[in-house]
Amino acid sequence: FIYEGTHQRPDIDLKTFEPLNYWFAKDQNSVFSSGRPIPGADASSFKMASCGSSEVFSEDKNRCYWYEHAVPCDCAPRHEGMF
């Protein structure tokens, strides 16, 4: 099983679970930011952002993300509360 703290996470597939860094993980079905699923994220193409400007930028074949928020794929700096 996968656990978040002391809580079991039956929504995560153990066989395909892959931590990407401190903030992001994925399995064959979903992508997670800080343990929460990112709605609409494509698990098969999800990766850390190619611009590499921060460990909280990521991307999939459809969009880019700052934490779990969809943002323009312009690699512009983002600040808390601004995305």
Q: Residues 6-49: pLDDT tens digits?
A: 999 999 999 999 999 999 999 999 999 999 999 999 999 999 98
Whether 56 and 67 have beta carbons less than 8 Å apart is answered as yes
The pLDDT value recorded for residue 5 is: 86
User: Mean pLDDT throughout 43-63?
Assistant: 87
Which tokens in the block code for residue 40?
């609409």
Which tokens in the block code for residue 20?
């990407």
Which tokens in the block code for residue 49?
């952002």
The pLDDT value recorded for residue 83 is: 44
What confidence tier does 59 reach under pLDDT thresholds 50, 70, 90? very high
The pLDDT value recorded for residue 79 is: 67
What confidence tier does 53 reach under pLDDT thresholds 50, 70, 90? low
